[in-house]
Structure 1
Amino acid sequence: MILITGGSGFIGSYLISSLMSRSLLICGRVKPPSIKAEKFISFDLSKDLLKVETLTNVQTVIHCAAHVHVMNDSSSSDPLIKFRQINTQATVNLAKQAATAGVKRFIFLSSIKVNGESTEPGIPFTSNYSAKPVDSYGLSKYEAELELMKISQYYGMEIVIIRPPLVYGIGVKANFSSLMNLVSKGVPLPFGCITQNKRSLVSVTNLVDLIITCIDHPEAANQVFLVSDDNDVSTSEMVREMAVALGKPTWQLPIPIWCYKLVAKLFNKSEVVDRLTGSLQVDISHTKETLGWKPAQTLQEGFKQTAQAFLQAKTK
């Protein structure tokens, strides 16, 4: 049996739909519509502990649930406290319960933010790159990774860590959705000069395919895997691929990057501009070689699938 947390989330829902032929148990606060009541356990990651009998027949735990961001959180003046509560301590508690119950493998969906926020062009992050988390989210994920490895050494439970970059696909929200909405309008966009940076992305299809590979693969035990579509693109290229997928013209104005830097200083938006103009690449050689895995879907296919769903939702 496979136990999944975060099943109602973007990645978790895809994972469940891809594993419907397997014996599943879903833990979370919201029951996914596709799951029968007897296969769902109401579970608040930050408060609850699973009963021992819940994990009796579980061989693998796939931990997707996480606290991603804090919006207007008045409960704490330090966002790191909330991130650690969910992403670190709750993860550790769940892993210890799994280990003591005899679960064989614990797959943890971490983040590329454990490695850092950016890379120099042509010098991608690798699976053995020294961790340099910058924000509270990345730090909480890294601390969880460290504790999971300790649990593995003490109890013998196999740990698999996956660090994805930006994940996109049908139903994606946040920045990717906002950019796609902008491109869908078919108006000229100011990204013509952002051609020298490189960003790694991963479709949710490819990410889920890797997670499923890690369920049974003997070489996945106690490894850290990076994942992407294996096709890094500049911001300008990404916009062009979106436009093609949406069937829109690709007009991009050649606004110099120094203009972005100036606007960033004036409006205190350095973080936004750095993501837009900077690079974040991952090298998935270790993943491919260790698991004999390669992305099942190309970036172009992923963009087309996402764009079609986006346009359908827009017409509704």
Structure 2
Amino acid sequence: MIKNRKKIPHEIEAEILFINDRTCCICRDSTKGAQIHHIDENPDNNDPGNLSVVCTEHHDEIHKSGGITKEISPTLLKKYKSNWELTVRKLRTQQHVPIKSSLGIEKILFKFEIRKTAYEIVALKGNDIDGINQRLEFLYTLHLLEGYTEHILSDLHQVVVMLALSDTNKTRLIANKIYEFVWHLVGPENVQITKKDIDNLEIAIEIIGTIGDFSAEFNKSLKVIKSVSKAFENIWDILIWYNLESHALTILDQLDKISKACKTAYENEEPWVSGMGEISKLRKKLKKITLEEQPEWKKVLAILNK
């Protein structure tokens, strides 16, 4: 069985080691070596969000007694991963000082650059994956160094509305990227959530839901629905950590819309079974996470138990 397990693609392995600075996310000691660990214990799941960097000592502790320990659960390990990756990003960018102007000229310029980049995404061909990713990465860099997150997400939402009917590559890549604009929220013990953060979470949820709804009803792309499911699962962790049940209910509303869209059958069509199956799997995952981490979310669990 072991010889048949999938190897982590070299590009993903290099990216994970780089964004973790080849350092264990738990002890943060770079002298202890670095191993990549599958958080969900599935060696075939090489999604970057499922890969953490740990030292040999903590890798052994995680697998102590033949299984993952209660002391380092998958949920806790995700928090270690997110917090350490955020710390590395801050260390690498702390030398950059945002432009300041009493006249507010820089705000106008940055908003122009954001809108221009969003329109460039629209204009690119759908198969220009590198070009699309480069522009999404540019928007992420602006978010990281300068802020303007609300403007970026709002413009991306407009892009999604224009593209979601037909351009599956662009909407899938946007769905993959959206979580990064809020992934600094690694728990209240490390990062206090602000009103702006909550507003941005709401826009992110709306973007992901729009992508899923349009895809389910019109282009029926399983790749897009899988990206939507993964994005919602990642944001669900944030909602769990900050006890934002009302926003979790919003995600469930979005999932209901997507499910209904999957069931919509036009002339000579059948309901989209594979899309419904993907949403059903996501709901089961969210239920499991909620029962473990926020069992007091009665409204959420009542819906997930249906």
Do the two structures share a fold, i.e. TM-score over 0.5? no
Which of the two has greater helix per residue? 2
Which of the two has greater strand per residue? 1
Q: TM-score, structure 2 length as denominator?
A: 0.29
Report which structure shows greater RCO (CA 8 Å, sep ≥6). Answer: 1
